[in-house]
Copies of this chain bind each other. A is one copy, B any other.
Amino acid sequence: MNDRSSRRTFKQRQKEACLAVLVEAAETVIYREGYHQAHMQQIAREAGCAAGTLYLYFKSKEELYQAMVTRHTEAITDQLRVAMATKRDPVEQLKAKTVSLLDYFNRHRAYFRVSFTEAPGGRADIKSNLRDRALKAYLEFKKHELATIKRAQKQGLLRTDLPAEELVEFVHGTTASTLARWSAQTSPPRPAAQLRYLWGFLQAGLGIRNEKESGTRNGKGNGHR
């Protein structure tokens, strides 16, 4: 039994490694060509295998695309959760999340651009493009963020004239649209400017009061004058 289970584990790992290679190849090609212009032959060539091999691991092109989305969604939510865990103050958690997301964004612009513009089904919002595990991961993270926002509202750190649910939507919508814009530009703002920009608007939209303690605040009084 020990023998069997360790062998299975090895095979599992092997399979996972294969999946990762194929998904990365797909991402590379789709980033370069766009979803519809990315052909299975090209993806296979990029991955160093035959076209038929792709179908041993994925039922269809669409499923290969979903695997790519799932992989990123899980990676993102994992990373953001970790980032939020480094802070106690809910507003700082939200900011840390934003920092971390921008970090991910800058390392994976390929993905953002494609997911915002070339989704095979053709949906514009985040949620509609997610399936199964990706959707689950996304919704769980959103719940987590909602709780954080509610906590912040209770502590009087955020505007309360809108329900927390709507604020979460605002954060995601604004963030998504901003990243979509940047992902499509040939030269988006540099990371430092990105944070100032995005967090500035989130701050404003969420009605975040003066962060007296913040070291990244860019002026006394508040952001807008």
Residues of A within 8 A of B (CB): 34-36, 113-114, 116-119, 121-125, 128, 156, 158-162, 166, 169-170, 173-174, 176-178, 180-181, 183-185, 197, 200-201, 203-209, 215-216, 218-219, 221-225
Contact = CB atoms under 8 A, between A and B. Distances in A.
Given A117-B119, A119-B117, A125-B181, A222 B205 contact: no
11 contacts: A35-B122, A124-B180, A125-B181, A156-B225, A159-B222, A174-B177, A204-B204, A204-B224, A207-B225, A222-B223, A224-B224
A204 B34 CA distance: 36
A35 B122 CA distance: 8
A96 to B, nearest CB: 20
Contacts of A197: 166, 170
The binding surface of chain A is classed by DSSP as loop
Contacts of A159: 218-219, 222-225
Given A117-B117, A201-B174, A184 B224 contact: no
A162 B225 CA distance: 9
A49 to B, nearest CB: 18
Contacts of A173: 177-178, 181
Contacts of A166: 197
Contacts of A221: 225
Contacts of A219: 159, 161, 207, 209
A117 to B, nearest CB: 4
A224 B160 contact: yes
Contacts of A177: 173-174, 176-178, 180-181
A184 B130 CA distance: 13
A173 to B, nearest CB: 5
Of the listed residues A119, A169, A207, the one surrounded by the most CB atoms of chain B closer than 10 A to its CB is A207
